[in-house]
Structure 1
Amino acid sequence: MSRQEPHAPIAEIEANAPSYDYNEASKQHNHHHDHDTPSKSAGSHSDDDGSLHSRDAREEIVAEEGAQGVARAEAFTRLLRSHKRGKALLWLLGILIWCTMFVYALDNGLTGNIFTPIIGSLYGRHAQISAVTTASSIIAAVSKPFLGKISDYTSRPFTYSITLCFYCVGFIVAATSETWAAYIIGLCFTSFAKAGIDLLGDIIISDLTPLQWRQFFTSGLTSPYFITAYIGGFIVDGLGITDADYGQWRWALGMFCILMPAFLGPVIVLLFALQRQAAQLGMISMGASGIKRRGQESTTRGQTTWQIIVAASISMDLVGLLLFAFGFGLLLLPFSLAKGAQGGWSNPSMIAMVVVGFVLLVIFALWEQYGAPVPLAPRRVLRNRAFLVAVLIDFLAQFGSFVASIYFSSYIYVTQDLTDYQWTALTATTTVGLCFFGILNGLLQRRFHRFKAQMLFGSVAKLIGYGICMTAGNRATTNLAALAISRILIAMSGMMVGGARLASQCAVAHRDLVTTIYTVSLISSVGSSVGSSVCASIWQNRMLTYMREEIPATVPDATIRKVYASIKTLRSYPLDDPIRIGGIAAYQRVQGIMFIVAIVVSAAGVIITFFVPNYYLGTQHNHVSKRDLDGNDVGGPVVRDTSNEAPPTTSGQKAWRAIRDAWDFPPRKPLAA
């Protein structure tokens, strides 16, 4: 690929961007909106003053009143496409966001895979890594809807500012921690922040791209992993993290307090500047015009601070988020904590946590259905088939991946005698592969305007990848070549997950885009949390038992507990030492169980892929409005244009048409606006 080729997509997206009369556009949109408002469903009616009394209509009005962030995003999108320096500003914004994601990628690759296992060993808490991962996943799961709502209610740069504050505080706490508990608290803060950075990157890319380029540019945000995956090893070596004294591990964490503000800060400043300039030019977007049409120039004018806070809490469904967070956390955390609790599962507190968590989730479901003025996701989204299938695929993908991968870096560290750099590079192979195949998938989508075939290919490759990790006797293999090849095959599953997420975005209007992104991410995080809990249960209930069975009986129980608590202690024994041999055998048995779970889940993912609608990817922003980024109606088929096709006459033609229609799996009715 030449160095000039990446410019082609940008040029195509921005070509011939029209200049706007924004006041006239607002009037036209208001007229269009009056005819398109979905308030004519059975059981609802509209008064002359525009008040709507059905539940779905109330959701729409409140959502518009709390959609200032959407309005501002559409405004600066139009500014970038119509301003004489718009292209240069777009490139500047893209470069700054890429630099931010570079730091994010470096953090993800080092903190989760390297630093946490090593620091866990430092405090003798290596067995609790899965519990930390579960807690982090729960925080990320709840954070994305919360931050998504904030970004819609306020603006994208304001939400970025919140995440930056939490990010810096979290790493300061982790880097200065003197206990394992303090380190976990720091990671919880950073989990909230990283969820926001990840979500906002996806939102901004989705705001600025049509369907045919969205996967390519979304995957482009992950391209820093091509670099960070291989410089991470040098950082680990340079800071001496794996040395006997754990080297400068505090600076390993503290450096992110410097790097992230250096790159994310300019992004925030630029977005605020674009937002301000768009406001000064009088640009009015869909959400804002809907508010002004109802004579509500300011929804906060004349209100007290408390009334504004209450209104914002209702718009963000704060009650629902808290019910979900506490319920989900209480339900899953006991699976990670029970082994270390006195009496295990017979401890009353463990049972109480599970019961209370389940009850809270039931209350959450009832609240969302009957009580929430503005649910986390409107019914029009929850009833969307593409969205439901995407959610299921994402859940299963994350569940299987986290079951198999949480202790994978520890498995490699113990079973192989690799250098720190080699260990870091091998554990990063899947991440690099996901980035590569994501970008490749984006180019294939632009070329063929389809995504379903790539999804099926990726799901099958993932299944094969987990399969070759196994040996006879349901044990994980220690063959380095097989493990490396499996990482590449598993990475191809990015085509499946990326396609599913794009399908969910094809089927919703722009006003529901953020809701769709954060809801899919929410369920994805639920899958990773459940996977972490299952992984924790397997590890904590099997590993110590298997070590006692595999390590010679002459070895003291205290020594076995030491190698169980620290991968560095186990690896300090030579490969031919009976303790190391027994430890490796125990790791093989436990990791083998985890791979089996991942195989079963991956097989289910292959089947579900067939039920994804094979949407056509064109210049539309989505298939609901069928408008491009300039607001022009570009039409186009939802799945496939068959208007010019002759009816099938032979049995072969009829069979082929039936197979093709079954493969496309088109929506049974028009997509809801």
Structure 2
Amino acid sequence: MSSTPSTRAPSHEITDEEKADYASASPSLKQGDTADATLVPAKSRGVRQMEALSNRMSVKYRVLLYGGFALLAYVMSLDQYTNRSYLSAATSVSFAAHSTLTTISALKSVFQAVSQPPIAKIADVAGRIECYALCVFLYALGYIVVASAQNIYAYAAGTSINVLGITGLFLLQNIIIADISSLRNRLFWSIFPSIPGTINVWVSGNITQSLLGKANQNASMWRWGIGMFCILTPALAVPVMLTLGIGMRKSKKAVEPAPVSNEGPRRSFWQKTVSVFWSLDIIGLLLLVGGFGMLLTIITIANGKGSHWKDPHSIALLTVGGILVVGFVLWERFGARHPLIPFTLLTNRTVIVCFFLAVIHPAAGGVIGSYFYTYLLVAGDQTTLSATRITSIASFTGTLTAAVMGIVVRYIRVLKPVIILGFCIEVLAFGLMIRYRDAGASKGDLAVVQLVRGFGVGCIGFPVQAAIQSVSKHEHLGAITAGYLTVYYLAGGVGSAIGGGIWSNSVPGKMQSYISNSTLAAQAYANPIGLIAKFPPGTPVREAMSRAHGETQRILSITGTALAAVGLLVAFGLEWVKLTDNVTLDKVEKAEDGKVSEAVK
């Protein structure tokens, strides 16, 4: 006999207990509704899809799915590592608009941050594979527009569309892996697709150099660099979608149960439209995207050239964005029938701590990373290739460390000590930066410090994500993952803004103090990379520039160290959650909303 639940409507009258069950899952069902009301299943379509799929997955099937994710993630990683070079070539050569480089980068950051909850919501309501196909379409469409763009506006529009697609693909990869992996194995499988991409740290520079030329002699070839991903990414996404689709086809009856009703009338098209409107929480999505989009936009560009905090448009964006954010919180708390993130989750201690860590860790990294590349060229006297690789060492080491920690967690079954260890290492690494990020630091000193920092990064980012997932119900898994990543990216933007503010308020004065020629000092601040070609190491101007950048890096390092120390203290507030072989904790799954903390203890 099949274990698949029957999808037929019951022939008996709906009991009060059954109605209460469904009413609790559907806030739109008001008290006093009769049995002929159409009642909805307790779990969303996307969650039911993955639960049915997970129950029948074999080892061979998992190998195909994880292998498909790894191949696709490798290509998308290569895309991200090379995209910055293509962006520089496009804005400088093809469109003669190099000043828009930071604006487009800021635009990408905004879309990356605010698109996470909407994508997660669509994946829950419409289904995982349907949302995955939509993201592949957006990715390809965006890059087609970019590769054929004849002006900077078309390029920016295509980039915005593409960011929605690639952000969605990475988010859905995280959600689907969480859907089918056990708690004790989740950390390893979450990082597994990223492992092949570590190769791109070392080869991406060679690829862009071979395509564009050593001095960008073939800069117009960026269109081919973008165009190849229009083919590669959709092609490698097909095996993932086929694997998911075949598995879901076997369990179609379990995924699509008929609505429970007492022979009530069928809903009209308008009623279905209204139902989808409330299910997707369109009002909440608009408030979220508008509010946080405005705030992140002004945070990322307010310290740049041509835009400042005191400008009228900056004040307007901050004011309107703040109002929309407050409106979003109030709407989700009191008005939304299906909130993007259930407020009951925000009463759990581990969830609260993880959100704080999602603010502190990327903010500290944003401060530390501010103008580090420029410092390497000016004060560190590194070549472009060497500077690029040094800045990537932490990412490379962090990925491998996270994979090792994934194996460790499988056996120790707890995440808290790993996260605390990560912050201890991060405080140590940032402290070393205070000592070694100065004028004249050697390549070995800079590389070793980045290596140490990578060990800390690998013990924080993905482990904290796994920790916040461990205390969430399966129904809330997509929402809580998207919420965590949204806060993470927003905090990174805030950290970069803090670092940019420190740099822009420190370097100009130091340049004026150390360089007697005020005109030359202004040039050294505005165009340091261009000026170092005229003044090699050992010349008075270059020494003054190195000193100014080295002293500013010390201030940035002290700020980052202080933030990391706060993160270490906060990490001790995590609960000791024992990871099991199930997708979610049984106690958490059975607990009533608002009582997850008691279930975990």
On the 8 A contact 2:433/2:449 being kept in 1, the answer is yes
Q: How does 1:203-352 map to 2 (within 5 A)?
A: 203-240=175-212, 243-245=215-217, 247=219, 248-279=221-252, 282=253, 284=254, 292=259, 294-295=260-261, 302-304=267-269, 307-338=271-302, 344-352=308-316
- From 103, 127, 132, the equivalent of 1:155 is 127
On the 8 A contact 1:395/1:524 being kept in 2, the answer is yes
Q: Is 1:22 paired with 2:4?
A: yes
Code of the aligned partner of 2:247: L
For 2:35, the equivalent position in structure 1 comes to none
Structure 1 residues 531, 129: CA separation in 2 closer, same or farther (over 3 Å shift)?
farther
- From 418, 422, 435, the equivalent of 2:399 is 435
Q: Is 1:450 paired with 2:414?
A: yes
For 2:476, the equivalent position in structure 1 comes to 512
Code of the aligned partner of 2:261: G
Could you tell me how far 1:60 is from its partner in structure 2?
10
Q: Is 1:600 paired with 2:562?
A: yes
Could you tell me how far 1:237 is from its partner in structure 2?
2.5
What is the CA deviation profile of residues 604-649 of structure 1, one whole-angstrom value per residue up to 9, with x for unaligned ones?
Answer: 110011111121122122214589xxxxx9xxxxxxxxxxxxxxxx
For 1:478, the equivalent position in structure 2 comes to 441
Structure 1 residues 584, 321: CA separation in 2 closer, same or farther (over 3 Å shift)?
farther
Q: Give distance in 1, aligned partners of 2:136 and 2:185.
A: 28
Q: Give distance in 1, aligned partners of 2:439 and 2:585.
A: 45
- Total equivalences in the alignment: 583
SS of the equivalent of 2:55 reads helix
Could you tell me how far 1:77 is from its partner in structure 2?
2.0
Q: Give distance in 1, aligned partners of 2:194 and 2:291.
A: 32
SS of the equivalent of 1:399 reads helix
Code of the aligned partner of 1:313: F
- From 8, 11, 19, the equivalent of 1:50 is 19
Structure 1 residues 489, 118: CA separation in 2 closer, same or farther (over 3 Å shift)?
farther
Q: Give distance in 1, aligned partners of 2:48 and 2:90.
A: 45
For 2:36, the equivalent position in structure 1 comes to none
Q: Give distance in 1, aligned partners of 2:333 and 2:550.
A: 46
Could you tell me how far 1:182 is from its partner in structure 2?
4.6
SS of the equivalent of 1:597 reads helix
Q: Give distance in 2, aligned partners of 1:209 and 1:508.
A: 14
Could you tell me how far 1:382 is from its partner in structure 2?
1.9
Could you tell me how far 1:569 is from its partner in structure 2?
5.9
Q: Give distance in 1, aligned partners of 2:262 and 2:517.
A: 78
Which deviates further from its counterpart, 119-128 or 212-221? 119-128
Q: Is 1:613 paired with 2:575?
A: yes
Could you tell me the percent identity over the aligned residues?
24
Structure 1 residues 56, 667: CA separation in 2 closer, same or farther (over 3 Å shift)?
closer
Could you tell me how far 1:131 is from its partner in structure 2?
5.1
Structure 1 residues 90, 55: CA separation in 2 closer, same or farther (over 3 Å shift)?
closer
What is the CA deviation profile of residues 314-361 of structure 1, one whole-angstrom value per residue up to 9, with x for unaligned ones?
Answer: 212221122122222323433444456878444322222211111111
SS of the equivalent of 2:5 reads helix
SS of the equivalent of 1:58 reads coil
SS of the equivalent of 1:614 reads coil
- From 467, 483, 488, the equivalent of 2:451 is 488
Q: Give distance in 2, aligned partners of 1:380 and 1:60.
A: 20
Q: Give distance in 2, aligned partners of 1:125 and 1:543.
A: 26
On the 8 A contact 2:398/2:458 being kept in 1, the answer is yes
Structure 1 residues 367, 621: CA separation in 2 closer, same or farther (over 3 Å shift)?
same
Could you tell me how far 1:556 is from its partner in structure 2?
4.8
Structure 1 gaps, min length 5: 1-18, 35-45, 82-86, 628-632, 634-665
- From 345, 354, 359, the equivalent of 1:381 is 345
Code of the aligned partner of 2:407: L
Q: Give distance in 1, aligned partners of 2:218 and 2:518.
A: 30
For 1:669, the equivalent position in structure 2 comes to 598
On the 8 A contact 1:215/1:498 being kept in 2, the answer is yes
For 1:109, the equivalent position in structure 2 comes to 81
SS of the equivalent of 1:274 reads helix
- From 405, 416, 429, the equivalent of 2:369 is 405
For 1:654, the equivalent position in structure 2 comes to none
For 1:645, the equivalent position in structure 2 comes to none
- From 419, 425, 428, the equivalent of 1:464 is 428
For 2:166, the equivalent position in structure 1 comes to 194
Q: TM-score, normalised by structure 2?
A: 0.85
Structure 1 residues 125, 611: CA separation in 2 closer, same or farther (over 3 Å shift)?
farther
For 2:55, the equivalent position in structure 1 comes to 78
Code of the aligned partner of 2:246: A
For 2:387, the equivalent position in structure 1 comes to 423
Code of the aligned partner of 1:96: G
Structure 1 residues 121, 587: CA separation in 2 closer, same or farther (over 3 Å shift)?
farther
SS of the equivalent of 1:50 reads helix
Code of the aligned partner of 1:58: P
For 1:7, the equivalent position in structure 2 comes to none
Q: Give distance in 1, aligned partners of 2:307 and 2:139.
A: 37
For 1:622, the equivalent position in structure 2 comes to 584
Q: Give distance in 2, aligned partners of 1:296 and 1:582.
A: 82
Structure 1 residues 124, 222: CA separation in 2 closer, same or farther (over 3 Å shift)?
same
Could you tell me how far 1:89 is from its partner in structure 2?
2.9
On the 8 A contact 2:515/2:541 being kept in 1, the answer is yes
Could you tell me how far 1:199 is from its partner in structure 2?
0.8
Q: TM-score, normalised by structure 1?
A: 0.77
What is the CA deviation profile of residues 228-256 of structure 1, one whole-angstrom value per residue up to 9, with x for unaligned ones?
Answer: 21221221321236515463333333332
For 2:33, the equivalent position in structure 1 comes to none
Q: Give distance in 1, aligned partners of 2:401 and 2:150.
A: 41
For 1:647, the equivalent position in structure 2 comes to none
Code of the aligned partner of 1:478: A
Q: Give distance in 1, aligned partners of 2:516 and 2:250.
A: 72
For 1:639, the equivalent position in structure 2 comes to none
On the 8 A contact 1:146/1:321 being kept in 2, the answer is yes
SS of the equivalent of 1:212 reads coil
Could you tell me how far 1:489 is from its partner in structure 2?
1.9
SS of the equivalent of 1:80 reads coil
Could you tell me how far 1:602 is from its partner in structure 2?
0.8
Code of the aligned partner of 1:68: R
SS of the equivalent of 1:469 reads helix
What is the CA deviation profile of residues 388-445 of structure 1, one whole-angstrom value per residue up to 9, with x for unaligned ones?
Answer: 1111112211122123225333433444454554333322211111111111111101
SS of the equivalent of 1:314 reads helix
Could you tell me how far 1:519 is from its partner in structure 2?
1.4
Structure 2 gaps, min length 5: 31-38
